[in-house]
Every structure is written in C-alpha cells, then in structure tokens.
Structure 1
Amino acid sequence: MSDKKMSSSRKHHLKSLMLSIAKGLLEAEEVAAEATRNAYMEETCPPLDLSGSMADLQELCKKLHSKLDKIDEDRYDLETKVSKCNKEIDDLKIKVQDLQGKFKKPALKKVRMSADSMLQALLGSKHKVNLDLRANLKQVKKEVKEESAEQVGDWRKNIEDKAGMDGRKKMFETS
C-alpha cells in the first residue's frame, strides 16, 4: 500500500468537478419540480375564461370560494390527523421506554407563579380562590412591659451591691 498524497492542484480540480456535477443535479431537480408543478396546475386548475357577463364572473367566484372552503376543510382534517398520530407516536415511545426501564426525566422549566394563580389554574376559572395567609393567623396582642426606673437605674450600683467592693478589689489584685 502506497500512501501517496494528492497535490493541492489535483484536490482543487476534483473539488471543482464535484461542485459542478452537484450544481447540474440541483438544476435538473429544480426543472423537474417546476415541470411537475405546472402539470399539476394544468390538471387541477383549468385556464380562466373571463369573457362573460357579470353574473358569470360572480358564479365563477362562488365556485372558487366553495373550492377554497373544501380545501381548508381538508387541510384542517389532515392537520388533526397528523397531530393525533404524533400524540399516538409519543405515547408509544413512552410505553417503549417504560418497558425498557430506561426513562429520561424531562427537563422542567421554572415557573414563577403565586399561590392564588396556582390554585386558580388547578381549580379552574370557576373557583375564585383568594389565599390570604395572614388572615388565618391568630391575632396576638403584645404586652408592653414597663420596667421600673429602680431596676434600670445605674448598673454599677447593682453590681457593687451584689458583689461588694471588697470582692472586686481582691479580684483585680490577684491578676
């Protein structure tokens, strides 16, 4: 096996050839798509004959309007079928994952919601719930304690009275 490297000019030449072939194929696909589109339009939509009276034109408009309504109904039916099939596919995927025992937890989004709006979402719009947490609390009256002036007084006197001056002097002398 010989590992010969290709020259850059050869690589460039091959790359340009591939691009030109791909461009030709894309153009051929576009032409084929345009031809099928034109054939379909000629088949389903005959050319308009506008040389007529006002009543004929109104009748033509009514026919076109009825065709549009029918197409809209068909489109709606197809959309519902597709959404139903997609939901069925998702349910089957979930069943398969459950049977395999490998279940991916979906990433949950953080939602900022007050308690009132959460209860309203759970119970529906029929039930108006006003959740006032403070209303359910007991009312407690605070007792105001008035301390006598004798107790507040000078704190040094209270300490001197309790410990005595002699005890303080001995405590500082030993240290």
Structure 2
Amino acid sequence: MATEKRLSSSRKHNLKSCMLGVAKELLDAEAVVKVEERERFLLENCPPLELPHSKEELLELCTKLHQQIDGREEEKYGIEFKLNLVVNEVRDLNIKIVDLRGKFKKPKLKKVRMSADAMLKALLGSKHTVNMDLRSNLKQVKKEVKEEDKQLRDVGDWRKNIEDKSDRKKMFDS
C-alpha cells in the first residue's frame, strides 16, 4: 500500500468532473432515445386525426375511436388482473417461506413500572381522568357479631389455654 501512488486533489477533481460530464452526455442521449421511441409509438398507434366534413363520417370516426378505447381498456384490465394474480402469488409464497423457516419468536419485553392509573391515562389520553380506587365505589356493609362467634373466639384463645396448662404443670411438680 505504501508503494501505491496517491492522486493529488486537483487530479481527483479533474477525474470527477470528466466522469460527471460523461454521465451527463449518457443521460442526455438516453432522454433523446426515449423521446424518439415515444414519437414512434404515437405515430404507429395514434395516426394524426383527420376530421371528416360529413355527419356520417364523423359518427363512423366516433364509433371507431370508441372501439379502440374499449380494446385498450380490456387490455388494461387484463394486465391489472394478471398483475394482481402475480402479487397474490408472491404474497402466498412469502407466507410459505416464513412458515418453512419456523415460528416467530416473541421478543422479550422490558418490564415497565407503571401504575394502573398511569397506564389507563396513557391509553385513553390525558382528557379522561381514571380512578383505579375500586374500593371507593363499594357499598359499606355493617358486620353483625353473633354471640356464638364471641364465645368461640373466647374459648379458642390459645394464650389463655397455655397459661392454664402451665398452672396445672406447677401443681404436679410440687
């Protein structure tokens, strides 16, 4: 690499300008060819219009033009139909390719710490105020305490039972 000669900046600039000049000439030549092709196509398919002087000849010309338009429209719809078939076939083949490759792997999602209020606000927009305090809408119910439940709670208190048993144990020890 060290033995290779480097181009000077003026030489590079000169080569770039030459390349751009050649490219411009090629583009101009291509544009001229396109214009010539278009003119040739129009001469072949659209002869110059000669308007007849009588009404019958004018009606014949109109019917002839309508028949030509109908033919072109049929060609257009045929080409569009073939195009749609090809597009659908390509889509089906792409689906088959994806199926052959295997199932999609779901990407790992990042955990986002967001309260339910903030999430609903983000989804519904800031105009909607959402309150997730569900307990505030609940009906208040007073709890009735039965006497049987009180007795069961008193008897079921395990601390008292332990204290009683510890007194009995002292009696047997002495």
Aligned to 1:90: 91
C-alpha displacement of 1:143 = 10
User: 1:143–1:6: structure 2 CA closer, same or farther, 3 Å change rule?
Assistant: closer
Residue 16 (structure 1) aligned with residue 29 (structure 2): no
In 2, Cα distance between equivalents of 1:37 and 1:67: 19
CA distance in 1, matches of 2:103, 2:42: 50
SS of the residue 1:50 aligns to = coil
- After the TM superposition, which parts of structure 1 deviate over 6 Å for at least 4 consecutive aligned residues? 142-145
Amino acid in structure 2 at the alignment position of 1:25? L
Q: Provide the residue aligned with 2:72 in structure 1.
A: 71
For residues 109-137 of structure 1, the C-alpha deviation after alignment (integer angstroms, 9 at most, x for no partner) is xxx9xxxxxxxxxxxxxxxxxxxxxxxxx
Structure 2 Cα separation of the partners of residues 82 and 60 of structure 1: 33
Separation of aligned partners in 2, 1:104 and 1:59: 67
% identity of equivalent residues: 50
Distance 1:7 1:78 in 2: 55
Aligned residues: 110
Distance verdict in 2 for CA 1:32–1:143, change over 3 Å: closer
Matches within 5 A, 1:53-68: 53-68=54-69
1:58 and 1:104 mapped to 2: Cα distance? 68
**Partner deviation per Cα, 1:68-117 (whole Å, 9 max, x = no partner):** 12211221121121011101111011112211226588xxxxxx9xxxxx
**Partner residue of 1:38?**
39
Coordinate RMSD, CA, aligned: 2.7
Q: Which deviates more from structure 2 when the two are superposed, residues 65-74 or residues 27-36?
A: 65-74
Residues 14, 83 of structure 1: CA spacing in aligned structure 2 closer, same or farther, 3 A cutoff? same
Over 3 Å counting, the alpha-carbon distance change for 1:104 and 1:13 in structure 2 is: farther
Give the alignment's TM-score, normalised by structure 1. 0.54
Match of 1:29 in 2: 30
In structure 2, the residue matched to 1:49 is 50
Query: Which letter does structure 1 place at the counterpart of 2:54?
Result: S
Look up the equivalent residue of 1:60 and give its one-letter code. L
Deviation at 1:59, TM superposition (A): 2.0
